[in-house]
Amino acid sequence: MKVKITQRSVYHKIAQIEIDVPVPKDAKFDEIQEWIIDNEDEWVDKIDHQLNQEEFVFGNGMDDGHWTDRYEDSEWRIDAVRETKLGKMLTGGHL
């Protein structure tokens, strides 16, 4: 009798870059997100290059950050510290 043995292994890469976004320090998240989407040409090559430099890591990467789309093949986020009347605040979300 022949038996087929199969293994599925998942590996991932995560790349991160920092860019300057020319919006006011008290800008709302929507303003930051809009600038990033409208100016993709300012940063997309940089993140592609960084992704190529990263090593593959075993697993799906869900434990390495604020990822939420477990069943998607790719996920994009932005995270920023912004000024508010109450002080500095971390804001972020999906692109």
What CA–CA distance (Å, rounded) separates 35 from 43? 11
- What letter would DSSP give residue 21? -
Q: Is 6 inside any structural domain? A: no
Q: Is 2 inside any structural domain? A: no
pLDDT of residue 42: 94
pLDDT of residue 37: 94
Residue 42 sits in which domain range?
11-17+24-68+75-94
Q: Is 80 inside any structural domain? A: yes
pLDDT of residue 41: 96
pLDDT of residue 89: 67
Q: What pTM value is reported for the model?
A: 0.73
Which residue stretches of the chain have pLDDT < 70? 65, 89
What CA–CA distance (Å, rounded) separates 14 from 52? 10
CB 95 within 8 A of CB 76: yes
Per the structure, how many domains does the chain have? 1
